[in-house]
Structure 1
Amino acid sequence: MRNVAIVAKQEIGNIANTLVDEAANSLRECTNLVAATNRPSDYVLNCMRQATDSVQLEGHCGKRFHEGAGAYDEVERYCIKSASELFGATHASVQAWRCTNGLLSVTRALAKPGEKVLGLECASGGYYATSTKAHLIGKLYDVATYTVSETTLRLDYDLIRDRARKERPRIIFAGDTSYSRDWNWAAMRDIADEVGAYLVADVSQVAGLIVGNAFSSPVQFADVTLFATYKTFRGPHGCIVLTNSAEIWKAIRSRLYPELQGSVVASTLAGLAATLEEAGTLEYAEYQHRTVDLSRRLAKGVAAQGVEIVTGGTDNHGFIAVVPAECRASAADACGMLSQQGILTNKTPIPFDRRSLLESSGVRIGASFVANLEISNDEIDSIAGCIGRTIRSLH
């Protein structure tokens, strides 16, 4: 029986190694332009590998339920201190496993079940968790939405104000998942104040750009700012929550643990610590500015092929190319064709989209991953041309 167990274990290991190697190799052969992806640095990955996930980190720093957590208490304290300093906040939490958990904990802390919350509609670039009934937030709270302008496809703060006056929400969610322009955080603060709402900014897409001074920061305007740490922030899959209110911070912490989740993952904490250390460097800021530069160059190159870009360009790491409504093919078809050519993108709805969510009319393109590479402007122009011609071929 012992020999059988050993053989079985070896076979399982070989299968897993083969599958993981094949997956990794398939990605190495592609140009990754999925806007929500990135590659942590070798330093971050090494710190994560060195961490042991066999330690139990249930509870908050200094108040764990299991022995052996002391060293990781220091790692978490370093993350909290670094995040607060980098973003100019007085309080931070780094325990949320994912940003959706963070959003739920924030909503639970600030609003009672059944109260109204207001978020950017999905097709306008908003996140489904704060604008649909699909997420638990939408099942526990009364979710209303605002949209971009039908004429400019940009945020119109007068329209948002009118919507807030009508809905009178407890929370207004700002930030997005695919809007390619900057936000007027001061205007959002003014709207929230007028209707007596909390302002929560989800900057998952642009957090790294904010630290690198390549995008505006909501931290001094929002009651809460939070973000996923694996996108432009270039870290592990986690979440950081920031606030300048001790009362709000305490409420969020108690919602995260013990209400929504248990033990923190040690390797994630280690990766966050390394990422936060990198985020204070000149190299990191240069990387973020390079990301925006490459994104704009890609957008310009795709547009040069006669393809419409939503809002005509971008202020951040990504943009959306449009598959016209008169085409029989959809963005899903375009993304599939690009994938066959080794270019990874993702389909997404455009404002006031006529197609279904699974088909969509937008091809979203981002530069966060390729900005890590030694890639020339000529190569970027060639990739943009390929994307533009592929979308044009669908006409």
Structure 2
Amino acid sequence: MAFPPRRVVVASDHAGVAMKRRLREALADAGIDAEDLGTGSDASVDYPDFAAAVAERVSAGTADAGILVCGTGLGMSITANRFPGVRAALLYDDSAARFARLHNDANVAVFGARTMAPEDAVRRLRLFLAEPFEGGRHEGRLGKIRGIENTIAAGPGPGPAGQGEPRMSYLRQTDPEIYEVIRRETERQAYRLELIASENFVSEAVLEATGSVLTNKYAEGYPGKRYYGGCEFVDQAETLAIERAKRIFGADHVNVQPHSGSQANMAVYMSLMSPGDTMLGMNLSHGGHLTHGSGVNFSGKLYNVIPYGVREDTETIDYDQVRELALRHRPKLIVVGASAYPRTIDFAAFRKIADEAGCMVMADIAHIAGMVAVGLHPSPVPHCEFVTTTTHKTLRGPRAGMIMCREDMAKKLNSAIFPGIQGGPLMHVIAAKAVALKEAMTPEFKEYQAQILRNAEAIARTLVKRGHKLVSGGTDNHLMLVNLKDTPLTGKEGEEALERVGITVNKNTVPFESRSPFVTSGVRIGTPALTTRGMKEPEMERIGNWIADVLAAPADAVVQKRVSAEVRTLCGSFPLYASRLVGA
């Protein structure tokens, strides 16, 4: 579990209400505001219901630790330990309280209201909260427990239809090679620190929708205007996605059919421009994206692209340069947005420039959509004719795209997507977009976005303290760029050194880059995925120091061994997709 735990859930049956109250007071004294999941009275209830409520939260990673109380503690322990990733321990004496954490990394403490005095329970809770997991040889043993529980969950193979077969059992029998690839990738995600800024971990609900029977349905066209029959239910899914996106972003019109962010951008270009027309886009090496006009991309091949960039002194967008280029070249479109820009973008400034130049503005918010959705980054919607985004990254949905626009642009935009560049939409992915958008409407999602920002600031602060130079000096959003120009390392070497210890980042060009895109002088780091796992500032500071340690001694085997072990232990404390870790 996260140590010390910050997100704690508690529950009891009717026999444990009074003791639960004492334990919550002890938690409050320790600065922990625990969430009580019931029960609240001495009226008879069934303990499995409350044990399951706590265990489900811990298993899903939305709580760091749980506390359960019943008459003896036995029933609660038995129930909680049915959930993947839950290690519930009955704290029957002080030694059990200590060693449950030290050796077993227990994440649920269980107490018996009829078998122990309240003061003993409080003391054992404090011991439980004070002990970190030792790791070492114990980590290997916990790995075996995870392997056992998830091998059982995987089942022996497919049985009769309708019997609720465990996850991936059909795949394991039909295609063991692909089954093994997915199993190993699940393990990689669970036991490495994912710091690629464009990656995230979707919820089980999003995964379920993505793998649903909606993948079978062809649905060319739009809700109510399809070229195929049998679309009444996929129409409902697409309409839900559209309405939720409109509500979240305040957009007049939304198209949720793009298969990717690149196709979303292409559809906007095709609805506005003809080949050879002029557009402004951010220089790729200054933080832009391939689809914003790179010469190797369709955007740079089809259109006359004028690149703008950042100032050399501040490494922030040069709005004066944007204005000068727009007035000189009179483009049809200015593209705003980036894939590696760590600062807040002034969409209102771009609108003002576009009005002077007589052109339109498209904002690509693929990286910052989650923050825009909850108001933690200025919205481009009031300032731009078009707004595109991916639905993964900070929005934490399936890998796909989405477009927002003014109502008067809707017809041309829809035609650009279908029949312009796509045929049948991926209805299973659109349903998953709807799920992610519903998740984005919750208070928890807003807090998640705020934590992404705090985590990015914590890593940035740690790296600067360790002597690293960051592009623009820091970050306002979810990512940062470590500039290695003045070090012996290239971005490629930095990425590879960190990969060896289980820290996944990507090499990246930096402004005024002198090296090839295959080598680069920078490393891009982002916090959305680790924030999804529940990690916060203390973990980010540790990770920042590990990154600095490795970059300072990329070939040091002693450093690599130490950091690699610490990374795996930390990952084990923040379980990810526990029910999918078959044989990990």
After TM superposition, the score normalised by the length of structure 2 is 0.64
2:506 is the alignment partner of 1:346? yes
- CA contact under 8 A between 1:110 and 1:198: conserved in structure 2? no
Q: Counterpart amino acid of 2:510?
A: I
2:463 is the alignment partner of 1:302? yes
2:550 is the alignment partner of 1:390? yes
Shift of 1:90: 0.8
2:350 is the alignment partner of 1:188? yes
- CA contact under 8 A between 1:201 and 1:226: conserved in structure 2? yes
Shift of 1:152: 0.7
Task: Give the secondary structure class of the aligned counterpart of 1:363.
Answer: strand
Deviations 1:47-93 (A, max 9, x none): 33334211111111112122221111111111111111111111110
After TM superposition, the score normalised by the length of structure 1 is 0.94
CA distance in structure 2 between the aligned counterparts of 1:36 and 1:277, rounded to whole angstroms: 21
CA distance in structure 2 between the aligned counterparts of 1:96 and 1:374, rounded to whole angstroms: 30
Which sections of structure 2, spanning at least 5 residues, go unmatched?
A: 1-170, 556-584
Task: Give the secondary structure class of the aligned counterpart of 1:39.
Answer: coil
Structure 2 CA distance for partners of 1:379 and 1:110, relative to 1, 3 Å = same
Matches within 5 A, 1:81-100: 81-100=243-262
Shift of 1:110: 0.9
**Which of 445, 448, 467 is 1:287 aligned to?**
448
CA distance in structure 1 between the aligned counterparts of 2:299 and 2:471, rounded to whole angstroms: 28
CA distance in structure 2 between the aligned counterparts of 1:352 and 1:146, rounded to whole angstroms: 12
Corresponding position of 1:205: 367
Matches within 5 A, 1:169-318: 169-244=331-406, 246-318=407-479
Shift of 1:132: 1.1
- CA contact under 8 A between 1:55 and 1:266: conserved in structure 2? yes
Deviations 1:78-130 (A, max 9, x none): 11111111111111100110010010110010112110011000111001111
Shift of 1:131: 2.3
Corresponding position of 2:100: none
- Greater alpha carbon shift after TM alignment, 317-326 vs 233-242: 317-326
CA distance in structure 2 between the aligned counterparts of 1:51 and 1:277, rounded to whole angstroms: 20
2:514 is the alignment partner of 1:358? no
Corresponding position of 1:323: 484
Which sections of structure 1, spanning at least 5 residues, go unmatched?
A: 1-8
Corresponding position of 1:372: 532
Larger Rg over CA atoms = 2
Shift of 1:27: 2.3
- CA contact under 8 A between 2:498 and 2:547: conserved in structure 1? yes
Q: Counterpart amino acid of 1:13?
A: D
CA distance in structure 2 between the aligned counterparts of 1:188 and 1:123, rounded to whole angstroms: 20
Structure 2 CA distance for partners of 1:275 and 1:326, relative to 1, 3 Å = closer
- Greater alpha carbon shift after TM alignment, 150-159 vs 338-347: 150-159
- CA contact under 8 A between 2:497 and 2:554: conserved in structure 1? no
2:319 is the alignment partner of 1:157? yes
Task: Give the secondary structure class of the aligned counterpart of 1:247.
Answer: helix
CA distance in structure 1 between the aligned counterparts of 2:363 and 2:332, rounded to whole angstroms: 14
CA distance in structure 1 between the aligned counterparts of 2:196 and 2:295, rounded to whole angstroms: 26
Structure 2 CA distance for partners of 1:392 and 1:33, relative to 1, 3 Å = same
Corresponding position of 1:3: none
Shift of 1:303: 1.1
- CA contact under 8 A between 2:455 and 2:536: conserved in structure 1? no
CA distance in structure 2 between the aligned counterparts of 1:320 and 1:207, rounded to whole angstroms: 19
Structure 2 CA distance for partners of 1:87 and 1:11, relative to 1, 3 Å = closer
Shift of 1:389: 2.5
CA distance in structure 2 between the aligned counterparts of 1:135 and 1:342, rounded to whole angstroms: 32
Task: Give the secondary structure class of the aligned counterpart of 1:53.
Answer: helix
- CA contact under 8 A between 1:212 and 1:289: conserved in structure 2? no
**Which of 304, 324, 336 is 2:496 aligned to?**
336
Identical aligned residues as a percent: 29
CA distance in structure 2 between the aligned counterparts of 1:48 and 1:301, rounded to whole angstroms: 38
Shift of 1:218: 0.5
- CA contact under 8 A between 2:451 and 2:536: conserved in structure 1? no
Structure 2 CA distance for partners of 1:270 and 1:307, relative to 1, 3 Å = same
Q: Counterpart amino acid of 1:88?
A: G
Task: Give the secondary structure class of the aligned counterpart of 2:380.
Answer: coil
2:227 is the alignment partner of 1:65? yes
- CA contact under 8 A between 1:105 and 1:252: conserved in structure 2? yes
The number of aligned residues is 385
2:301 is the alignment partner of 1:147? no
Shift of 1:376: 4.5
Task: Give the secondary structure class of the aligned counterpart of 2:211.
Answer: helix
- CA contact under 8 A between 2:491 and 2:508: conserved in structure 1? yes
Structure 2 CA distance for partners of 1:174 and 1:191, relative to 1, 3 Å = same
2:185 is the alignment partner of 1:40? no
Q: Counterpart amino acid of 1:122?
A: L
Structure 2 CA distance for partners of 1:198 and 1:376, relative to 1, 3 Å = closer
Bigger relative contact order, structure 1 or 2 (CA pairs below 8 A, ≥6 apart): 1
CA distance in structure 2 between the aligned counterparts of 1:169 and 1:120, rounded to whole angstroms: 14
CA distance in structure 2 between the aligned counterparts of 1:220 and 1:377, rounded to whole angstroms: 33
- CA contact under 8 A between 1:303 and 1:388: conserved in structure 2? no
Shift of 1:375: 2.3
Task: Give the secondary structure class of the aligned counterpart of 1:232.
Answer: helix
Task: Give the secondary structure class of the aligned counterpart of 1:52.
Answer: helix
Q: What is the Cα-based RMSD across aligned positions, in Å? A: 1.6
- CA contact under 8 A between 1:338 and 1:344: conserved in structure 2? yes
Q: Counterpart amino acid of 1:270?
A: A
- CA contact under 8 A between 1:116 and 1:142: conserved in structure 2? yes
Task: Give the secondary structure class of the aligned counterpart of 1:165.
Answer: helix
CA distance in structure 2 between the aligned counterparts of 1:58 and 1:185, rounded to whole angstroms: 34
Shift of 1:377: 3.0
CA distance in structure 2 between the aligned counterparts of 1:46 and 1:259, rounded to whole angstroms: 30
- CA contact under 8 A between 1:323 and 1:391: conserved in structure 2? no
Show structure 1 runs of 4+ deviating over 3 A: 9-12, 392-395
- CA contact under 8 A between 2:246 and 2:252: conserved in structure 1? yes
